[in-house]
Amino acid sequence: MTKQERFFALKISSIMATRLFGLFMIFPVFSVYAVQYENTTPYLIGLAIGIYGLTQALLQIPFGYLSDQFGRKPLLVVGLVFFFIGSVVAANSTDIIHVVIGRALQGSGAISAVLMAFLADFVAEDQRSKANAFVGMQIGLAFMLSLLIGPLITINLGISGLFWVIAGLSIVALIIVATLPYVKPHAQYSLSIPNIKQVLTAKLLKLDFSIFTLHLILTCTFIVMPVLLVENNIVATDLKDNWSIYLPVMLLSFVGMLPIIILAEKFKKHKIMILTAITIMAVSQILFYQTTLTYTTFLVLLTLFFIAFNAMEAMLPSLISKIATKDKRGLAMGLYSTSQFLGAFVGGVFGGWIYNIYDLNSVFLLTTLMAIIWLGVMLTMKQQKTL
């Protein structure tokens, strides 16, 4: 990539990472700290964690489409303002229902598709896979840092203070957006059935299903993970020792994912590496269900999980940007991001429901089943030039 492309990719990834960092910071703490809210139940805990995915899913395609029509930058500003408002609502909540509303408002700032399309606009096609892999790695880093920093903030400022910090992050993202250039929108097109069909090809739909399943499993996992850490005496009840698990996992998983990314991008082994990552994901979920959890087993299994998660986060958007045509890229990214956040919502709802009706460990049966179905779907994917 040129110097300008690298700098632009850094800005886009910084906006994406800052926003997702804010969304993810409640993951490692909310299941434990949500008991302080009125009317709390396991189901509502899952709904509060996952509800942002529903509003994201509903609005990704409209945001992506409108960014094709009116330009990327104005839609980024609108989305981040919604994110700020939702964070403030959640910060002032004393009832978990109000937290659910705040999280839904956070999700209504559905700018992921706009950011990925903006990146593709400025980076040459032959360099786009590197740029998308870079953004994917930044997202993975943001998620891992959220697991370390979220508990530290919550211990010192409380769950309300955590939401205020998240509101501040949205302002940081807005400042970065202000430095981006304004670009004239692409040629106008209608949101018609023929145009929508162009982003409903078999290849794109399988990638959309991949990101749906990935984030369903992620959300389910982090409904139960904080509670399991406490129940198995791996960390203290206030989660102040979370770093002792998540820091080594963060470092080991990034090292572990590098061979997968290199083989996929440099040697064009995308299909094989996708199947490898899904298999690793499935194994981690099966073992979480069957294994007695100690510090060591937790560390190993969570590392396997994040090797697969980070690798998929890097590979999938790269493939989407290659397959989608330039004039429909915003729309294609919208459908992809819709699938991503719908997966988070479904994971929150069903993970919370299973936790409420059965027990924590049973959630891993759902995630294992979904990983197996996902593997079956991707086995049918043909090895082509882009894959």
Read off the pLDDT of residues 106-130 as tens digits, 9 standing for 90 and up.
Answer: 989 888 878 877 887 887 766 666 7
Residues 270-293 have a mean pLDDT of: 94
From residue 250, how far is each of 243, 283, 300 by CA, in Å?
10, 19, 12
pLDDT more than 90, % of the chain: 41
- In this predicted structure, what is the pLDDT of residue 192? 62
From residue 111, how far is each of 95, 99, 182, 331 by CA, in Å?
28, 21, 16, 12
- In this predicted structure, what is the pLDDT of residue 251? 87
Question: Could you tell me the two tokens for 73?
Answer: 């930058």
CA distance 72 to 279: 37
Residues 315-325 have a mean pLDDT of: 77
Spell out the residues 6+ positions from residue 136 whose beta carbon is closer than 8 angstroms to its own.
310, 313, 314, 315, 316, 317, 318
Spell out the residues 6+ positions from residue 163 whose beta carbon is closer than 8 angstroms to its own.
87, 88, 90, 91, 93, 102
DSSP 236: -
- Average pLDDT over all residues of the chain: 86
CA distance 293 to 82: 40
Mean pLDDT comparison of 5-14, 169-178, 246-255, highest-scoring range: 169-178
CA distance 197 to 180: 31
CA distance 387 to 382: 8
pTM greater than 0.85 (yes/no): no
Query: pLDDT band at residue 384, thresholds of 50, 70 and 90?
Result: low
- In this predicted structure, what is the pLDDT of residue 189? 54
Residue 64 has pLDDT above 70, yes or no: yes
Residues 273-277 have a mean pLDDT of: 95
Query: Can you list the domains of the chain with their CATH numbers?
Result: 3-379 (1.20.1250.20)
Question: Could you tell me the two tokens for 34?
Answer: 């949500």
Q: Is 252 exposed, middle or buried (0-12, 13-18, 19+ CB in 10 A)?
A: middle
